[in-house]
Amino acid sequence: MFNALVLTQEEKLTHANVRQISEAELPEGDVLVEVACSSLNYKDGLAVTGVGRIIRNFPMVPGIDFAGTVIESSDERYKAGDRVILTGWGVGENHWGGLAEKARVKADWLVPMPDDCDAAKAMQVGTAGLTAMLCVQALQQAGIKPSDGDVLVTGASGGVGSVAVTLLAQLGYRVVASSGRVEQNGPLLSKLGASEVIERSELEVDARPLEKQRWAGVVDTVGNKVLATALAQMQYGGAAAICGLAGGFALPTTVMPFILRGVNLLGVDSVSCPFEKRQAAWQDVLKLLPASYYQDACEAITLEQVPEFAQRIIKGQVTGRVLVQL
């Protein structure tokens, strides 16, 4: 028997409780993993609180990522003792996830843990950090260089945003961080590498189809009016890497930025990202993130604290990354 955070539903209300479960209760899969660490992402917050209604089948063990050690495997790619990382693939949404001391998953969903990494470090990066790296790589592949001008990061206080700010600064970009909590988080964002921190309210407006050109690149985690305004302010030939919808899935914009300024809108998905691309992103993010990021922008909690922090993360009251130690 081992501990797991189990979600149940009663009269359309989601309940989250830590309880003991057995290996026999785990879903089918090729690889059984002893989970050392998971993390708390915005999507986990939606699942645990039931606000996002992203869970369709109950009971469910949430947790969209984890890191640990293989206990047993029927797939030749992995053997007992191998250290592995999982992010995405619907784990924690429609397949029992990482907020448990053991998980059974498909081998295709795993990547080997890099040699210079451990489980805690892997989950301090986690899904959010991997997504941030994929966004930065998308901007680079679109030809956006540090000399082109400012890069805007929206939702900069969150997991994806804080890692994106750090990565871009490490690569020499001038980063402008947008946050709804400038007074509280501005000093941290500056410490992570932001050259300027602006209020989210500056972007939460009804923008004209085209505004004054400001951004060479954008990493957006918010969507809706924030993204629409950022697009209207893009420089000619700029690119926006988008990966989130914390502000809603609507996009009240026009075709004007795209057909008159040649702006590129780059969708970034980390859930079903191919193995080779995923592995390369892990190598790059671990190489680029400085030790100071883990010290300044990460906190650790227990499994029992997850429901409390889930409420906080969906209310925008969590800064940086949250490591869950199992």
Take residue 27 and report the two structure tokens written for it: 């879903």
Distance CA 150, CA 168 (A): 10
126-267: CATH topology? Rossmann fold (3.40.50)
Query: Are 2-113+296-325 and 126-267 in the same CATH fold?
Result: no
DSSP result, 83-105: EEEEE-TTBTTTB--SSBSEEEE
| 18 touches 304 (CB < 8 A) | yes
Say what the pLDDT of residue 53 is: 82
Q: What is the DSSP letter of 27?
A: P
DSSP result, 211-245: ----EEEEEESS-HHHHHHHHHTEEEEEEEEE---
| C-alpha torsion sign, points 65, 292, 176, 258 | negative
Q: Tell which CATH classification among 3.40.50.970, 3.40.50.80, 3.20.20.70, 3.90.180.10 matches the domain 2-113+296-325.
A: 3.90.180.10
Distance CA 186, CA 190 (A): 6
Say what the pLDDT of residue 218 is: 98
| 288 touches 171 (CB < 8 A) | yes
Take residue 90 and report the two structure tokens written for it: 């619907």
pLDDT, tens digit, for every residue of 26-37?
A: 999 999 999 999
Say what the pLDDT of residue 316 is: 87
pLDDT tens string, the chain, 326 residues long: the values are: 999 999 999 988 999 999 999 999 999 999 999 999 999 999 999 999 999 788 989 999 999 999 999 999 999 999 999 999 999 999 999 999 999 999 999 999 999 999 989 999 999 999 999 999 999 999 999 999 999 999 999 999 999 999 999 999 999 999 999 999 999 999 999 999 999 999 999 999 999 999 999 999 999 999 999 999 999 999 999 999 999 998 999 999 999 999 999 999 999 999 999 999 999 999 999 999 999 999 999 999 999 999 999 999 999 899 999 999 99
Q: Where are the alpha helices (DSSP H) in 50-193?
A: 119-141, 159-170, 182-192
Domain map (residue ranges) of the chain: 2-113+296-325, 126-267
Question: What are the two backbone dihedrals, phi and then psi, of residue 324, each rounded to the nearest 5 degrees?
Answer: -110, 115
pLDDT, tens digit, for every residue of 242-273?
A: 999 989 999 999 999 999 999 999 999 999 99
Distance CA 63, CA 38 (A): 7
Say what the pLDDT of residue 11 is: 86
Say what the pLDDT of residue 265 is: 98
